[in-house]
Structure 1
Amino acid sequence: MTRGAPIPDTVTLHVPFRIVKRGGRKEMQLPHGAVQPCKSDSTLVKALARAFRWKRMLESGEFATIAELADREGIAPSYMTRVLRLTLLAPDNVEAILDGKQGPEVTLARVMEPFPIEWDGQLPSLCSRRIK
Protein backbone atom coordinates (compact mmCIF):
# COMPACT_ATOMS: atom_id res chain seq x y z
CA MET A 1 0.00 0.00 0.00
CA THR A 2 1.08 3.53 -0.63
CA ARG A 3 0.12 6.66 1.24
CA GLY A 4 -2.60 7.72 -1.17
CA ALA A 5 -4.10 4.21 -1.66
CA PRO A 6 -7.44 3.47 0.00
CA ILE A 7 -7.45 1.11 2.96
CA PRO A 8 -9.06 -2.22 2.02
CA ASP A 9 -12.09 -3.42 3.98
CA THR A 10 -10.65 -6.90 4.46
CA VAL A 11 -7.10 -8.18 4.70
CA THR A 12 -6.55 -11.92 4.41
CA LEU A 13 -3.51 -13.47 6.01
CA HIS A 14 -2.62 -17.13 5.46
CA VAL A 15 -0.54 -18.80 8.19
CA PRO A 16 0.25 -22.47 7.72
CA PHE A 17 -0.06 -24.41 10.97
CA ARG A 18 -1.41 -27.66 12.30
CA ILE A 19 -3.19 -28.66 15.47
CA VAL A 20 -1.48 -31.34 17.57
CA LYS A 21 -2.52 -32.99 20.81
CA ARG A 22 0.00 -32.52 23.57
CA GLY A 23 -0.49 -33.52 27.15
CA GLY A 24 -4.24 -33.99 26.70
CA ARG A 25 -4.78 -30.56 25.16
CA LYS A 26 -4.63 -29.15 21.65
CA GLU A 27 -1.79 -26.90 20.61
CA MET A 28 -0.99 -24.95 17.46
CA GLN A 29 2.26 -26.02 15.78
CA LEU A 30 3.88 -23.71 13.24
CA PRO A 31 5.83 -25.10 10.26
CA HIS A 32 9.48 -26.07 10.63
CA GLY A 33 11.73 -23.03 10.57
CA ALA A 34 9.09 -20.60 11.80
CA VAL A 35 9.90 -18.71 14.98
CA GLN A 36 7.79 -20.26 17.69
CA PRO A 37 7.28 -18.60 21.05
CA CYS A 38 8.84 -20.41 23.99
CA LYS A 39 6.15 -21.76 26.28
CA SER A 40 6.99 -24.14 29.05
CA ASP A 41 4.97 -27.33 29.40
CA SER A 42 3.32 -27.03 32.81
CA THR A 43 2.94 -30.81 33.10
CA LEU A 44 6.68 -31.34 32.63
CA VAL A 45 7.57 -28.46 34.95
CA LYS A 46 5.26 -29.82 37.66
CA ALA A 47 6.77 -33.30 37.34
CA LEU A 48 10.30 -31.87 37.65
CA ALA A 49 9.31 -29.85 40.70
CA ARG A 50 7.80 -32.93 42.35
CA ALA A 51 10.84 -35.04 41.54
CA PHE A 52 13.30 -32.61 43.10
CA ARG A 53 11.02 -32.01 46.11
CA TRP A 54 10.69 -35.75 46.74
CA LYS A 55 14.43 -36.24 46.32
CA ARG A 56 15.10 -33.50 48.90
CA MET A 57 12.61 -35.11 51.32
CA LEU A 58 14.31 -38.50 50.99
CA GLU A 59 17.85 -37.11 51.27
CA SER A 60 16.98 -35.05 54.36
CA GLY A 61 15.85 -38.18 56.19
CA GLU A 62 12.29 -36.92 56.54
CA PHE A 63 11.22 -40.22 54.97
CA ALA A 64 13.24 -43.41 55.16
CA THR A 65 11.95 -45.12 52.00
CA ILE A 66 10.25 -44.32 48.73
CA ALA A 67 7.34 -46.53 49.79
CA GLU A 68 6.84 -44.46 52.95
CA LEU A 69 6.91 -41.18 51.01
CA ALA A 70 4.62 -42.56 48.29
CA ASP A 71 2.13 -43.64 50.94
CA ARG A 72 2.18 -40.15 52.45
CA GLU A 73 1.68 -38.54 49.01
CA GLY A 74 -1.09 -41.01 48.15
CA ILE A 75 0.55 -42.36 44.99
CA ALA A 76 2.02 -45.67 43.88
CA PRO A 77 5.70 -46.23 44.70
CA SER A 78 6.35 -47.35 41.10
CA TYR A 79 5.06 -44.00 39.78
CA MET A 80 7.18 -42.13 42.32
CA THR A 81 10.33 -43.96 41.24
CA ARG A 82 9.66 -43.08 37.58
CA VAL A 83 9.18 -39.41 38.48
CA LEU A 84 12.26 -39.43 40.74
CA ARG A 85 14.34 -40.53 37.72
CA LEU A 86 13.77 -37.01 36.33
CA THR A 87 16.34 -35.77 38.86
CA LEU A 88 18.93 -37.60 36.74
CA LEU A 89 18.31 -35.40 33.70
CA ALA A 90 21.23 -33.31 32.49
CA PRO A 91 21.10 -29.71 33.70
CA ASP A 92 20.82 -28.55 30.06
CA ASN A 93 17.71 -30.68 29.63
CA VAL A 94 16.13 -29.43 32.86
CA GLU A 95 16.84 -25.84 31.84
CA ALA A 96 15.40 -26.42 28.36
CA ILE A 97 12.20 -27.84 29.87
CA LEU A 98 11.86 -24.98 32.33
CA ASP A 99 12.44 -22.41 29.56
CA GLY A 100 10.04 -24.15 27.15
CA LYS A 101 12.84 -24.91 24.66
CA GLN A 102 12.59 -28.70 24.83
CA GLY A 103 10.92 -29.24 21.46
CA PRO A 104 7.44 -30.55 20.69
CA GLU A 105 8.42 -34.23 20.81
CA VAL A 106 9.44 -34.00 24.47
CA THR A 107 6.39 -34.88 26.53
CA LEU A 108 5.98 -36.19 30.06
CA ALA A 109 5.28 -39.66 28.69
CA ARG A 110 8.52 -39.58 26.66
CA VAL A 111 10.61 -38.23 29.54
CA MET A 112 9.23 -40.91 31.86
CA GLU A 113 10.61 -43.62 29.54
CA PRO A 114 14.06 -44.96 30.41
CA PHE A 115 16.86 -42.65 29.28
CA PRO A 116 20.67 -42.77 29.54
CA ILE A 117 21.94 -41.72 32.95
CA GLU A 118 25.07 -40.21 31.37
CA TRP A 119 24.31 -36.58 30.55
CA ASP A 120 26.13 -36.66 27.20
CA GLY A 121 24.01 -39.62 26.13
CA GLN A 122 20.78 -37.70 26.75
CA LEU A 123 21.45 -35.01 24.14
CA PRO A 124 20.22 -34.45 21.52
CA SER A 125 17.83 -37.38 21.85
CA LEU A 126 15.84 -35.85 24.70
CA CYS A 127 15.83 -32.13 23.96
CA SER A 128 15.90 -31.01 20.37
CA ARG A 129 17.57 -27.65 21.01
CA ARG A 130 20.61 -27.51 23.23
CA ILE A 131 20.95 -24.34 25.27
CA LYS A 132 23.96 -22.23 24.35
Structure 2
Amino acid sequence: MANFAEWARHILERLHQAALRDPDDRLAALHAELERYVPQDVAPDEGHLGFAVTLLLRLRHGTGELRLMARSPPSPFATAVDVTVAELKLEAFLPADEETAAVFASAVNAERTARSCGLPPAPAR
Protein backbone atom coordinates (compact mmCIF):
# COMPACT_ATOMS: atom_id res chain seq x y z
CA MET A 1 0.00 0.00 0.00
CA ALA A 2 1.62 3.21 -1.16
CA ASN A 3 -0.46 5.55 1.02
CA PHE A 4 -0.84 3.55 4.24
CA ALA A 5 -0.51 6.56 6.55
CA GLU A 6 -3.26 8.50 4.80
CA TRP A 7 -5.60 5.49 4.80
CA ALA A 8 -4.85 4.75 8.43
CA ARG A 9 -5.72 8.35 9.36
CA HIS A 10 -8.94 8.03 7.34
CA ILE A 11 -9.93 4.87 9.24
CA LEU A 12 -9.04 6.44 12.59
CA GLU A 13 -11.16 9.49 11.78
CA ARG A 14 -14.11 7.24 10.93
CA LEU A 15 -13.65 5.39 14.24
CA HIS A 16 -13.52 8.73 16.06
CA GLN A 17 -16.73 9.91 14.37
CA ALA A 18 -18.45 6.61 15.25
CA ALA A 19 -17.38 7.03 18.89
CA LEU A 20 -18.83 10.55 18.93
CA ARG A 21 -22.17 9.28 17.57
CA ASP A 22 -22.34 6.27 19.88
CA PRO A 23 -19.83 6.40 22.77
CA ASP A 24 -18.35 2.98 23.53
CA ASP A 25 -15.36 2.16 25.75
CA ARG A 26 -14.26 -0.70 23.49
CA LEU A 27 -14.32 1.53 20.42
CA ALA A 28 -12.31 4.18 22.28
CA ALA A 29 -9.77 1.53 23.32
CA LEU A 30 -9.52 0.26 19.74
CA HIS A 31 -8.97 3.80 18.48
CA ALA A 32 -6.24 4.42 21.09
CA GLU A 33 -4.48 1.16 20.22
CA LEU A 34 -4.60 1.69 16.45
CA GLU A 35 -3.42 5.28 16.76
CA ARG A 36 -0.08 4.02 18.09
CA TYR A 37 0.60 2.30 14.75
CA VAL A 38 -0.11 5.32 12.54
CA PRO A 39 2.41 8.02 11.64
CA GLN A 40 1.38 11.33 13.18
CA ASP A 41 2.53 13.72 10.43
CA VAL A 42 0.42 12.66 7.46
CA ALA A 43 0.12 14.99 4.49
CA PRO A 44 -3.11 14.55 2.53
CA ASP A 45 -2.86 12.97 -0.92
CA GLU A 46 -3.16 15.26 -3.94
CA GLY A 47 -6.76 16.18 -4.66
CA HIS A 48 -7.89 15.49 -1.07
CA LEU A 49 -10.76 17.80 -0.12
CA GLY A 50 -10.97 16.92 3.55
CA PHE A 51 -14.73 16.40 3.59
CA ALA A 52 -15.27 14.12 0.61
CA VAL A 53 -16.08 10.43 0.96
CA THR A 54 -13.77 9.57 -1.95
CA LEU A 55 -10.19 8.63 -1.13
CA LEU A 56 -7.58 7.09 -3.42
CA LEU A 57 -6.13 3.75 -2.37
CA ARG A 58 -2.72 3.44 -3.98
CA LEU A 59 -1.35 -0.09 -4.24
CA ARG A 60 2.10 -1.09 -5.44
CA HIS A 61 1.86 -3.75 -8.13
CA GLY A 62 4.24 -5.51 -10.48
CA THR A 63 3.02 -3.28 -13.32
CA GLY A 64 3.40 -0.06 -11.33
CA GLU A 65 0.93 1.59 -9.02
CA LEU A 66 -2.76 0.76 -9.03
CA ARG A 67 -5.06 3.61 -8.06
CA LEU A 68 -8.48 2.74 -6.68
CA MET A 69 -11.23 5.15 -5.70
CA ALA A 70 -12.91 4.18 -2.47
CA ARG A 71 -16.53 5.22 -2.36
CA SER A 72 -18.32 5.15 0.95
CA PRO A 73 -22.03 5.64 1.30
CA PRO A 74 -22.72 8.74 3.39
CA SER A 75 -24.30 6.71 6.18
CA PRO A 76 -24.97 3.12 7.21
CA PHE A 77 -28.32 1.48 6.61
CA ALA A 78 -30.47 3.50 8.99
CA THR A 79 -33.66 1.49 8.51
CA ALA A 80 -32.23 -1.92 9.28
CA VAL A 81 -34.04 -4.00 11.88
CA ASP A 82 -31.38 -6.68 12.19
CA VAL A 83 -28.44 -5.48 14.31
CA THR A 84 -26.00 -7.21 11.97
CA VAL A 85 -27.29 -5.24 8.99
CA ALA A 86 -27.48 -2.05 11.07
CA GLU A 87 -23.71 -2.28 11.65
CA LEU A 88 -22.92 -2.99 8.00
CA LYS A 89 -20.92 -0.37 6.13
CA LEU A 90 -19.95 -0.75 2.48
CA GLU A 91 -16.82 0.37 0.69
CA ALA A 92 -16.65 0.14 -3.09
CA PHE A 93 -13.25 0.27 -4.77
CA LEU A 94 -13.30 1.37 -8.40
CA PRO A 95 -10.39 1.96 -10.80
CA ALA A 96 -9.37 5.62 -10.58
CA ASP A 97 -7.56 5.72 -13.93
CA GLU A 98 -7.39 3.87 -17.24
CA GLU A 99 -4.14 2.08 -16.38
CA THR A 100 -5.67 0.51 -13.26
CA ALA A 101 -8.83 -0.43 -15.16
CA ALA A 102 -6.68 -2.10 -17.83
CA VAL A 103 -4.80 -4.18 -15.22
CA PHE A 104 -8.08 -5.42 -13.73
CA ALA A 105 -9.62 -6.08 -17.15
CA SER A 106 -6.55 -8.08 -18.14
CA ALA A 107 -6.76 -10.15 -14.94
CA VAL A 108 -10.46 -10.86 -15.53
CA ASN A 109 -9.82 -11.87 -19.15
CA ALA A 110 -6.96 -14.18 -18.11
CA GLU A 111 -9.21 -15.80 -15.50
CA ARG A 112 -12.01 -16.32 -18.04
CA THR A 113 -9.58 -17.82 -20.55
CA ALA A 114 -8.16 -20.20 -17.93
CA ARG A 115 -11.64 -21.35 -16.91
CA SER A 116 -12.76 -21.87 -20.50
CA CYS A 117 -9.70 -24.13 -21.00
CA GLY A 118 -10.49 -26.07 -17.84
CA LEU A 119 -7.46 -24.72 -15.96
CA PRO A 120 -7.55 -23.99 -12.24
CA PRO A 121 -7.81 -20.33 -11.21
CA ALA A 122 -4.52 -18.44 -10.95
CA PRO A 123 -3.31 -17.87 -7.40
CA ALA A 124 -3.81 -14.36 -6.03
CA ARG A 125 -0.71 -12.14 -6.17
| TM-score, length basis structure 1 | 0.29
Determine which structure has greater relative contact order: mean sequence separation of CA pairs < 8 Å that are 6+ residues apart, divided by chain length. Answer: 1
Larger strand percent: 2
**Structure with larger Rg:** 1
